[in-house]
């Protein structure tokens, strides 16, 4: 039963946003602070937030959650899943009029006019993206109704005439590829996909140089929303792993030593990130009724702090 729930509501940020739209009918606004990311020097965090009847926008605050400011104000667009450029001067994010039209954009961290970076075919919005450590290349995923799922590569600041390169295609072996994330130092891409016998989502690692694919997890329950630790020694992901609600887990780059980091059965945890030295964990936690807030804690589970508050 939970597998069906997760498959329908939590497999990607796009589906998560669609699920959150039910709060628009509530009289009391519910705040959803989602997908936090530390800036390169660790003094700021960026995230997107869904507040009552408004569509989600991108926000930046200090690392302790104070001095929040709105980076995007788009009343007719979904602005989701932000991340930083390597130098911290820009923020990348996905945006579109609906979940089938999302593309990646780049905006100055100080604000201004965003520049579109990916140009997916109409009706085939990107289902996750990542930028390499030198801010030169974007990898993103596109899923088709025919059942094929592809990883695409395009340069930063290319225009809509640039031809993206298909670097990996699942063909008919998977219905989707989600949340591709570039290793902070190597040409390795981690992503989630249902290309296994159970058709749950597991973690897969693709090597751009050797063109080899490796399955990292083989677990009960869907694996969601992966990201590399800052040093690239392990992968963070969310999953119920047979439980009732998703927690944050880590797994080594070779697929060994899966460890539960949050261990919180009273809330749902997603979208984890680590500080530059991998000593602190940043993540969202909450539920559909009361909303989601951003928390930080030591990687060993100590010093849990709530960073964002209900307005």
Quote the pLDDT of residue 21.
44
Quote the pLDDT of residue 22.
42
Q: Name the pTM for this structure.
A: 0.90
Quote the pLDDT of residue 26.
43
Domain of residue 91, CATH code: 2.120.10.30
228 vs 230: CA distance, rounded Å: 6
Q: Kind and range of the H or E element at 2?
A: helix 2-9
Domain count, the chain: 1
Q: Kind and range of the H or E element at 6?
A: helix 2-9
Residue 27 lies in a domain: no
Who contacts 97 (Cβ-Cβ below 8 Å, separation ≥6)?
76, 77, 78
| Nearest one of 178, 109, 110 to 142, comparing CA atoms | 178
48 vs 259: CA distance, rounded Å: 27
Residue 108 lies in a domain: yes
From residue 248, alpha-carbon distances to 120, 209, 286, 302, 305 in Å are: 31, 30, 13, 14, 16
Q: Kind and range of the H or E element at 35?
A: strand 31-38
User: How many angstroms separate the first and last alpha carbons of the chain?
Assistant: 34
Residue 105 lies in a domain: yes
Residue 26 lies in a domain: no
Q: Kind and range of the H or E element at 15?
A: helix 13-20
Opening angle at CA 278, ends 276 and 283, nearest 5: 95
- Per residue in 170-196, is it b (16+ CB within 10 Å) or e — as a string? beeebbbbbbbbbbbeeebbbbbbbbe
Query: How many CB atoms are closer than 10 A to CB 97?
Result: 13
Residue 241 lies in a domain: yes
Q: Helix (H, G, I), strand (E, B), or coil: what is residue 54?
A: coil
Residue 19 lies in a domain: no
Domain that holds residue 146: 32-306
Quote the pLDDT of residue 17.
47
Residue 16 lies in a domain: no
- Phi first, then psi, for residue 94 (nearest 5°) are -100, 145
**Tens digits of pLDDT across the chain (311 residues):** 333 333 333 344 444 444 444 434 445 678 899 999 999 999 999 999 998 778 999 999 999 999 999 999 988 999 999 999 999 999 999 999 988 899 999 999 999 999 999 999 887 889 999 999 999 999 999 987 666 789 999 999 998 888 999 999 987 777 889 999 999 999 999 999 988 777 789 999 999 999 999 999 998 889 999 999 999 999 999 999 867 899 999 999 999 999 999 987 689 999 999 999 999 999 999 998 889 999 999 999 999 999 998 65
Quote the pLDDT of residue 310.
61
Alpha-carbon Rg for the chain in angstroms: 18
Residue 21 lies in a domain: no
Q: Residue 83: beta bridge partners? A: 92
Residue 203 C-alpha from the chain's centroid: 14
Who contacts 265 (Cβ-Cβ below 8 Å, separation ≥6)?
243, 244, 245
139 vs 218: CA distance, rounded Å: 24
From residue 60, alpha-carbon distances to 192, 241, 297, 308 in Å are: 27, 32, 19, 11
């Amino acid at each position: 039963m939970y597998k069906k729930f997760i498959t329908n509501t939590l497999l990607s940020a796009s589906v998560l946003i669609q699920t959150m739209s039910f709060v628009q009918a509530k009289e009391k606004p519910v705040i959803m602070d989602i997908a936090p990311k530390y800036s390169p020097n660790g003094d700021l965090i960026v995230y997107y937030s869904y507040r009552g009847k408004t569509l989600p926008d991108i926000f930046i605050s200090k690392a302790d959650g104070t001095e929040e400011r709105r980076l995007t104000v788009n009343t007719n667009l979904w602005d989701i899943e932000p991340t930083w450029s390597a130098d911290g001067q820009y923020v990348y994010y996905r945006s579109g009029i609906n979940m089938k039209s999302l593309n990646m954009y780049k905006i100055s961290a100080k604000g201004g006019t965003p520049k579109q970076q990916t140009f997916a075919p109409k009706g085939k919005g990107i289902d996750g993206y990542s930028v390499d450590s030198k801010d030169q290349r974007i990898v993103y995923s596109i899923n088709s109704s025919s059942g094929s799922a592809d990883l695409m590569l395009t340069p930063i600041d290319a225009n809509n005439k640039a031809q993206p390169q298909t670097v990996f295609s699942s063909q008919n072996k998977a219905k989707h590829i989600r949340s591709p994330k570039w290793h902070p130092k190597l040409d390795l891409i981690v992503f989630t996909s249902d290309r296994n016998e159970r058709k749950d989502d597991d973690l897969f690692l693709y090597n751009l140089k050797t063109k080899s694919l490796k399955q990292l997890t083989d677990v009960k329950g869907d694996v969601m929303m992966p990201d590399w630790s800052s040093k690239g020694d392990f992968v963070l992901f969310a999953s119920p792993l047979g439980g009732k609600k998703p927690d944050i887990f880590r797994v080594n780059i070779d697929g060994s030593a899966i460890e539960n980091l949050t261990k919180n059965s009273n809330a749902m945890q997603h979208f984890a990130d680590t500080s530059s030295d991998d000593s602190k964990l940043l993540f969202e936690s909450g539920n559909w009724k009361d909303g989601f807030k951003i928390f930080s804690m030591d990687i060993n589970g100590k010093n849990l702090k709530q960073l964002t508050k209900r307005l």
